[in-house]
Amino acid sequence: MMHKLKKATAQVTLKTAPENAEFNDFRNRLENLSTYLKSSSKALNESEQAWKEVCNKQKQFAETFVNRYPDKDDIREFGKQSSIASQKLVKEFTLRLEGQQAKHWEVDAVVQEYLAEINSISAEYKPINAAHTEVAMYDKKVADLQKVKKPDEAKIARNMEKLEEAKKKYEEILDRVVDHMKEVYNKRQVALKATYVAYWSSQLRAFDLVDNSLRPTRDFVAGSVDSIANVKISRMTADDVKKFIEEHSTLECTSPRGADATSPASSSSPASENPKAPFAEGNAPAEKNVPTSPVEETPEAPAAPEAAAV
């Protein structure tokens, strides 16, 4: 007990054993790196959740639009297609929850493995501190023995020997830990690349999912936005409405740029190949009420949907 008390006293009152600058430098580097990687992984998770919320809102809007739209025309058909597409989109963003993982989660796993490796080094700090305390204790003891009027040279020699043993042990532990720190820190570029790729892979996947799922909707909106933006609806008469519907048929809006090769959908979208058909053959929404579940279809029309957790 007395030995432990002396060690504790030495730890508190003495700093005669110098701090190792290299150890402190790499400890700070690894701690800063760990803090950043944790925050970047958090950003990835938050972004993924935000995309899920956006897709849920799209789904909710599309379903409500179809339920509230009173006419049976092409606009309703586009609304139904957007609703079905948005339901599939929500399902895509729940893949991780259903046990299927997108690639960016596999990349983020590399970051998590590296963080675990950094964290394992912190467990090695305790033996260093204990060895450092041992050095400080014998250092103080030798100094106290040398201060007395009649020093006991034999006792001083014994404690000097113990001090040297303690220093040797401390340096061995320190060298081993610092080597390990260098080895782990040397992998930083791999981990940093992984966190960069994981985040942007997630973003690009989300962009692609939205773009591919809602491409017919995008084409229809692109072909309609300017003509509708110029409408002065408060001044429209019944004849104006009829003329507007005839001149701005939804069928004509599906491929606003015609055969222009620069259009994103001009070469790949079936709708652009046939301007009289707003949907690809075989993909037109069936004449039935829109399902509210992203997985299952129901024969009954849904009530106005409420926000659902993904």
Please report the DSSP string for 242-284 in residue order. HHHHHHT-TTTTSSTTTT-TTSTTTTT-HHHH-TT-SS-TTTS
User: What is the pLDDT at residue 99?
Assistant: 57
Q: Strand runs (DSSP E) across 71-154, as ranges?
A: none
Distance CA 200, CA 197 (A): 5
pLDDT tens, residue by residue, 150-181: 887 888 888 888 888 888 888 888 889 999 99
Q: Which of 116, 113, 111, 118 is nearest to 180 (CA)?
A: 118
Q: What gap in Å lies between CA 292 and CA 302, rounded to an integer? A: 6
- For the chain, the average pLDDT equals 75
Instruction: Name the CA radius of gyration of the chain, rounded.
Output: 35
pLDDT in tens, 185-221: 999 999 999 999 999 999 998 888 888 888 888 888 8
- What is the average pLDDT across 107-123? 94
* Domains, the chain, with CATH or none: 2-11+21-213 (1.20.1270.60), 216-294 (no CATH)
φ and ψ of 296, to 5 deg: -115, 150
Burial of 65 (0-12, 13-18, 19+ CB in 10 A): middle
